[in-house]
Amino acid sequence: MTPFSRRFLLGAGAAGLAGATLMPTLTLAAAPTDKRFVVIVLRGGMDGLSAVVPHGDPAYASARGRIAIAAPGTGEGAALKLDGMFGLHPNLEALKALYDGGDAAIFHAVASPYRERSHFDGQDVLENGDTQPRRRHDGWLNRALAGYGRKDANRALAVSQAMPLILTGPEAVSSWTPPQLPQGDDDYLARVQRMYEDDAQLRTALEDALATREMAMGAMDGNMRGGGNQLAALARPAGALLRAEDGARFAVMDPGGWDTHNNQGAAQGLLAGRLADLDRGLAALKDSLGTVWKDTMVVVVTEFGRTVAVNGSNGTDHGTASAAFLLGGAVKGGQMIADWPGLGQGQLYENRDLKPTMDMRALFKTALVAHMGLDEGFVSREVFTDGERIALLEQVLRG
């Protein structure tokens, strides 16, 4: 984003704010977009210190003990060097290639506004766009959809059976996973639709499902194979759904299994397996998006990081800040962005966790405004609580 458009949007936002008191119906509907935005929520609390290794921090190796990832250049299982301070987990090879190719920016010491250590409240805040859990009952991405003038079904898609909170709300959204059971025939489904005519909840859900299934059939040439719930298996069909001209513009994926209390491992082990799946998933997504990768932004976040110290069972407990990734052809990659708080004595949050120095919502807000073209004032007011205080990130989009 150029400085000029930044100023322009800031101005528009201010006008919106001023106008709100005078004419409450003022809307600044954004034009339809061909950009794509994917949010990947890693549920369970990804350990940012093993994913993005601060090998240059003098306290890292000793604090991490048995689960420390070896510094870059020290042989097999060593971190993949990003710069003198940071490296990626050895299983994040595809991410490293994206970084080297200028398609991935990597952030550290990132957290949502949530400062306690419950998964459920943590995920709630990540998804509801608020500063507190359980106060807003719809998701920020659903609220963002209201900023477009054009209302199309299938613009936003959860690639999961259950609708995640981040997409829940008044705007029409859909969900899709590769069908695992023989599909009902058209005659039967048409009759079901007639039974649902007076039932708004079921009618809408079925209409969305049928439309999405049709879209998926087209996008995948009828070849929809189920492949389990690993990100690597879901990313390819997700990419096809996003790639299609009449397909989705927003998608959410939310692989779990990141809650590594026990035997987390280092270069190998439980966490290494999850990171390998994430890495394969990101590569598959890029591959599947094909030519629209250049118009895509993917943000990868988790509800919180994990304790700096290793716990009693070779794992880590719930912490605070973690790492985050921004990928896609639209991203000005090759950057490692962190206001690093340090891991030494006196530098930790509450004496145990990585201290947050960046609001995760800055990634979301930047994506919505600078990439997806939504009005900044609208995003600040309607999408996030206290959204005016969230800074837009400079220099993370290709100009």
Binding site for other proteins (CB under 8 A): 43-44, 117-121, 133, 158, 160-163, 168, 174-177, 179-185, 187-189, 191-192, 194-199, 201-202, 205-206, 208-210, 212-213, 256-257, 259, 261-262, 311-315, 317-318, 350
Select 127 or 375, whichever has its Cβ closest to other proteins: 127
Minimum gap (Å) between residue 330 Cβ and other proteins? 28
- The distance of closest approach from Cβ of residue 177 to other proteins in the complex, given in angstroms and rounded to an integer, is 5
Token pair for 268: 């190998």
Separation between Cα atoms, residue 232 and residue 225, nearest integer Å: 13
- The structure tokens listed for 194 are 């007639």
C-beta of 175 vs 380, nearer to other proteins: 175
Of the pair 108, 318, the CB lying nearest other proteins is at 318
Query: What is the C-alpha separation between 247 and 37, in angstroms, rounded?
Result: 12
- Least distance to other proteins, CB of residue 47, Å: 14
Cα distance between residue 205 and residue 183, in whole Å: 16
Scanning the structure block, which residue is given the tokens 């407990």? 317
| Shortest separation between residue 23's beta carbon and other proteins, angstroms | 34
Smallest distance, other proteins to C-beta of residue 33, A: 22
Smallest gap from residue 277 Cβ to other proteins (A): 14
User: What is the rounded CA–CA span in Å between residue 30 and residue 33?
Assistant: 8
Phi, psi dihedral angles at 107 (to 5 degrees): -120, 150
Closest listed residue to residue 58, CA positions, set 323, 320, 345, 264: 345
User: What Cα–Cα distance (Å) separates residue 331 from each residue in 8, 95, 218, 227, 297?
Assistant: 21, 13, 29, 29, 6
| Residue among 125 and 326 whose Cβ is closer to other proteins | 125
CB closer to other proteins, 91 vs 314: 314
The smaller minimum CB distance to other proteins, of residues 148 and 258, is found at: 258
Listed in order, strand segments (DSSP E) in the chain are 36-42, 52-53, 80-81, 87-88, 104-111, 156-158, 174-175, 250-253, 296-302, 322-327, 335-337, 358-359
Write down the least CB distance from residue 7 to other proteins, Å. 40
Give one DSSP letter per residue of 209-273, joined into a string: HHHHHHHHHHHTTT------S-HHHHHHHHHHHHHSTTS-SEEEE--------S---SSSSHHHH
- Minimal distance in Å, beta carbon 123 to other proteins? 9
